[in-house]
A and B are shown apart, each in its own frame.
Chain A
Amino acid sequence: MEQRSNTFLDNASEALKNTGQAKRRDSMARLTPLLRSAAIEDAGDFESLRQQMKQVRQHSLDNLAHYLTQFEQEAVHNGNRMHFARDAEELNSIVLDICQQHDARRVVKGKSMVTEETGLNSFLQRAGLDVMETDLGEYIIQQAVETPSHIVTPALHKSAEEVRELFKDKHDLGPRALEDTTDMVAEARQVLREHFLKAEVGIIGANALIAENGYSMLVTNEGNGDLCANLPKTLIVCTTIDRILPRAEDATAMLRLLARSATGQSQTAYTSFYSGPSRDGDVDGPQETHIVLLDNARSEMLTGDYREMLECIRCGACLNHCPIFASVGGHAYGWVYPGPMGSVLTPLLTSLEQSNALPNACTSCGRCAEVCPADIPLPDLLRDLRHEETLEKLSPSRWRLGLKLHAWVSQQPWLYRALTATIIPLLHLMGRRRGSFTRLPFASGWTNERNFPAPQKKTFMQLYKAGMKKPNE
C-alpha cells in the first residue's frame, strides 16, 4: 500500500472538510468510550487483568525463541506446513506459491491487518487470483477500492447511504432496494456465501499462537474467519512472530480484555482455536494447512526501545479514545495502522523519515495509555519517537532551533528576566485595548485558529520584586 504518512497535515485538512464523515467520527468518538467503559466495569479488576496480560506478554517476548520453537514443533506435529517470511514480499510470494501449487483461482480472506501491511490482496490479484475479503467492513472497502480507516471496523468512514450505492453499483440487485443496514448485511451475506462455497483457499490471521499445542486463535463476530478456516480445501494462516502465548489459558486475560476494549462486548461471538488439517473421521475442514509467520521488523523491535509496542493486542481502544484520531480519521495517517498505536508502529515498520509527522499528532493527553489493555505507555513512546526525530534533524529547523534556544535562555535567569521584562509589558500595551491579538508574527499556527491572549501589565517576577500583591496595583 502506498504510504502517505508525511502528508498527514494535508490529509487531515482534507478529512476535516468532509463534514459528513467528521460528524460520524464525532458520534463514534462519543459512543465507543461509553461502550468500553461499561464493559470494562463489568470485567471487574481491569488493572489486575492488564498487569497479568502484560506479564504474560513480556514473558513470552523474553523467551520468544523458546516459545516459537515450541510452537513450530507442535504445529508441524499437528500437520501444518510452516513458513517464515522476513518481509512483506516474502510473505506474499509464499502465499502465492501455495495458491499456485493448488491451481487455486479463488481465495476468501478473513480480516487480517498483517496482510494489509504486506499488501497481499493486490499482489495475488496481479497474479490473476480472485481474492475476496469476507469481513463485511473489509468487503465494503475492497469493493470501493479503498483502505481500512480503523483496525477493528475498517469501513466505519462510510455511511449506510454510500454502502447502499456501492452495492447497487457492484451487485446485480434486481428489485432489492436495500432499505436498511439489515438488508445490506443480508445482501453481502448472500453474495459472500457463494464465494465461501466456491473458494479453493482460505486465508485468515491469528490473534494469538499457542506454543504448547500449536493452535492458532481467531476472534471474530461475523463468523467469516471461521468460514474461511473450515470450508476451503486449503487454509493459510498469516500472522507475525510476536503473537505467541505459552499456553491456551494464557489467552484468557487477553480474551477478557480484547472485546471489551475493542467493541464493548464481554467477548466476541466466535473464539476459535485451529490446530491443522482435517483429521481421520472429520467430515469437513481443510485438507492442507499452512502457517506463514512474518517478521517484518518485529525482531528489531524486540531488541529496541519500542519493544512494548509488541505487546499490543490490536483492540483499537487507543484509536477510539484519541481526540486526534476522532478529528481526522484513520486515512489521514496514510498507511495501515492509524491512531496512537499506528503513530508508533508506522515509523517502526516503515521509516521515521517517511512518517515523522505521525508522532507529532499527539497532545500527550494520555487517554490512550489509560485505556490500553496492554498498558503500553503510548504517549511516552511517541515522545521518544519525537526525540529520534530531533536527533535525526527531521523536524523543521525553525522549530528545533527555537525550542533549543528557549531551553537555553530558560537556564540563564538574568537573561530570561531581562528579555521577558522587555517583551511582556510591550505585548501588554499592544494588546491592552482588546485583551487579545487576532494576528501575531511568528505565531500564525496559534492565531489561525484562535486569538492570542495579551499578558497582564508586567511579568509576575517584576511585580513580585516590586513588592506588589496584585497584578493591577
Chain B
Amino acid sequence: MNEQQHGDHPASNESMQVSLFVTCLADLFRPAVAFASIKLLEQANCEVTVPPSQTCCGQPAYNSGDYEATVPLARKVIEILEPADYVVVPSGSCAGMICQHYPRLLEGEWRDRALQLASKTFELTTFLTQIAKIQPLSEQSTELPTITYHDACAGLRELNIKEQPRQLLQELCGVAVKELDQSDVCCGFGGTFCAKMPEISGKMVGDKLDNALATGAKILTGGDLGCLLNLAGRAQRQGEDLEIRHIAELLCGDLDTPPIGQSGQR
C-alpha cells in the first residue's frame, strides 16, 4: 500500500520547507482549496512555496492508457518538484499518481528519481496528521454544521487515507463525521470514465449522493476535487440542498466561499 517513508523530521520549532503541488483542478476550478492548503500548512509551521511552472500530474492521459504522452509530463513534474524538502498535494489521486504510478510508469534513472520524489510527497491530510502535526488555533474557528465525508478511492486504497481527515475535523473543528453508507464505493467520477460512460457514471454518482443525503448532513466533503465536482454537479442537477466543499476549506474554517457549483447569489 502506502510505501512512503516517514524519515527524519525537523524539530517542531524549526519550520519545514514545503512545495505545494496545487493540482490542475484546484488551480482551474477551486483556488480556494489551494489557498486553504497554504493556510493550513502555515498553521502547521511550514514555509510554503508554489513552484510556478507546475501544471497537471498527467492522470488524464495516463488513466486513458496514453503512457507515451504521460512519460514526458511525469518527468517534467519530477524536475519541478524534486528540489523540495516535502511536496504536499491536496488530492489523494494526484498524490497517488506521483507516489504509486510514476515509479510504475518510468524506467531506469527516472524511476529512481520518481521513487525519491514519492518518498517525500504527501497528501495534505496525511501530511498534517503524520508529518507536520498541525495544532488547533487557540480561538474557536467557524462553527460547522453536520458533515459527511466521501472517501475518494485513490486516496483510500493507494495511500490509506481514511482516519486522517476525520481526525483533523475532530481536532481542528470539533466535528465528528456522520458516516455515509457504502463509503468505500466509487462515486463514478473515474477521470475520463465519467465522460466516456456517462450513463453508468450517472447511476453511480446518483447512488453516492443518495447515501450522502441519507445521513442528513448539511455538508459533504472529501479530499479529491474530481469526485467533489462530480458530486456537486449531480447535486445541482437534482436541486439538492447539500453544500459540497473540499476538506481543506473546512479545516481552515472557510465557509465564505460559495460551495462547489453554487453561485452564492441565491
Indicate yes or no for A touching B, C-beta below 8 A.
yes
Using a CB–CB cutoff of 8 Å, the interface residues on chain A facing chain B are: 9, 12-13, 16, 26, 30, 323-324, 327-328, 359-367, 369-370, 380, 383-390, 395, 399-400, 403-404, 406-411, 413, 416, 420, 424, 431-436, 438, 443, 445-446, 448-461, 463-465, 468-472
CB of A445 within 8 A of CB of B195, answer yes
CB of B190 within 8 A of CB of A363, answer yes
C-alpha spacing A443/B28, complex, angstroms: 16
CB of B104 within 8 A of CB of A380, answer yes
CB of A449 within 8 A of CB of B198, answer yes
B67 within 8 A of A: yes
CB of B22 within 8 A of CB of A460, answer yes
Interface size class of B (residues with CB under 8 A): 35 or more
B201 within 8 A of A: yes
Q: 19 interchain pairs (CB within 8 A)?
A: A323-B186, A323-B188, A363-B191, A363-B204, A364-B191, A364-B193, A390-B68, A403-B60, A406-B56, A410-B58, A413-B52, A413-B55, A448-B199, A449-B237, A450-B205, A451-B234, A453-B229, A456-B30, A470-B257
Among A385, A452, A456, residue most surrounded by chain B Cβ atoms (within 10 Å): A456
Are A9 and B73 CB-contacts (below 8 A) given A399-B64, A472-B256?
Answer: no
Q: Which of B196, B199, B205, B257 contacts A399 (CB 8 A)?
A: B196
Closest Cβ of chain A: how far from B198's Cβ, in Å?
A: 4
CB of B261 within 8 A of CB of A453, answer yes
Contacts of B221 in A (CB 8 A): none
CB of A388 within 8 A of CB of B262, answer no
C-alpha spacing A270/B61, complex, angstroms: 48
Smallest CB-CB separation from B194: which chain A residue? A446
Closest Cβ of chain B: how far from A452's Cβ, in Å?
A: 6
Are A404 and B66 CB-contacts (below 8 A) given A366-B158, A433-B265, A453-B261?
Answer: yes
Contacts of B191 in A (CB 8 A): 363-364
Contacts of A436 in B (CB 8 A): 232-233, 236, 261-262
Smallest CB-CB separation from A424: which chain B residue? B28
C-alpha spacing A247/B190, complex, angstroms: 42
CB of B188 within 8 A of CB of A388, answer no
State the total of A-B contacts with C-beta under 8 angstroms: 235
Majority SS at the chain B contact face: helix
Known: A424-B28, A460-B28. 12 other contacts (CB 8 A): A362-B193, A365-B185, A366-B153, A367-B186, A387-B67, A400-B64, A449-B199, A456-B257, A459-B27, A463-B31, A464-B50, A471-B31
Majority SS at the chain A contact face: helix
B110 within 8 A of A: no
Are A450 and B66 CB-contacts (below 8 A) given A327-B203, A364-B153?
Answer: no
CB of B229 within 8 A of CB of A16, answer no
Q: Which of B28, B55, B72, B233 contacts A455 (CB 8 A)?
A: B28
Contacts of A323 in B (CB 8 A): 185-186, 188, 204
Closest Cβ of chain B: how far from A203's Cβ, in Å?
A: 36
CB of B195 within 8 A of CB of A406, answer no
Contacts of B135 in A (CB 8 A): none
Closest Cβ of chain A: how far from B41's Cβ, in Å?
A: 13
B127 within 8 A of A: no
Contacts of B146 in A (CB 8 A): none
Are A416 and B236 CB-contacts (below 8 A) given A406-B60, A445-B198?
Answer: no
B117-157 interface code vs A (CB 8 A; 1 in, 0 out): 00000000000000000000000000000000000011001
C-alpha spacing A448/B230, complex, angstroms: 12
Are A366 and B236 CB-contacts (below 8 A) given A386-B65, A434-B263?
Answer: no
C-alpha spacing A459/B50, complex, angstroms: 14
Tell me the chain B residues, 241-266 only, with Cβ under 8 Å from chain A: 254, 256-258, 260-265
B18-49 interface code vs A (CB 8 A; 1 in, 0 out): 00001010111111101100010000000000
CB of B69 within 8 A of CB of A407, answer yes
C-alpha spacing A13/B157, complex, angstroms: 29
B15 within 8 A of A: no
Contacts of B207 in A (CB 8 A): 26
CB of A16 within 8 A of CB of B237, answer no
